[in-house]
């Protein structure tokens, strides 16, 4: 019985250790972007957000105007 528990613990902790060893190996393979790339990508995302916001505001304004016209009639 004691030997079974030892084997279970050894397998569990061995699996956890293998997970972290594999994790470190994968992190070493990652190609991290440069600061210039990060700033450029951030600017693109912000610009797209602003453009989408303006377009949605325009569509909302048009629909609000049309609904006001329908409600008055």
> pTM for this structure?
0.60
48 and 15 share one domain:
no
Q: Rounded CA gap, 52 and 71, in Å?
A: 28
Are 37 and 3 part of one and the same domain? Answer: no
Interacting residues of 33 by C-beta distance below 8 A, sequence separation 6+: 41
| pLDDT for residue 40 | 98
Q: Which helix (H) or strand (E) holds 62?
A: helix 35-72
Residue 64 domain boundaries: 32-73
Contacts of 41 (CB under 8 A, 6+ apart): 33
Asked if residue 58 and residue 23 are part of one domain, the reply reads: no
Asked whether residue 9 falls in the same domain as residue 44, the answer is: no
Q: What is the pLDDT of residues 10-53, one digit of tens each?
A: 888 888 999 999 999 999 999 999 999 999 999 999 999 999 99
Do 48 and 71 lie in one domain? The reply is yes
């Amino acid at each position: 019985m004691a030997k079974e528990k030892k084997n279970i613990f050894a397998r569990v902790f061995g699996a956890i250790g293998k997970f972290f060893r594999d994790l470190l190996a994968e992190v070493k393979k990652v190609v991290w972007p440069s600061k210039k790339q990060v700033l450029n990508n951030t600017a693109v995302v912000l610009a797209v957000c602003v453009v989408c916001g303006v377009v949605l505001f325009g569509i909302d304004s048009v629909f609000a105007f049309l609904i006001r016209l329908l409600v008055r009639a």
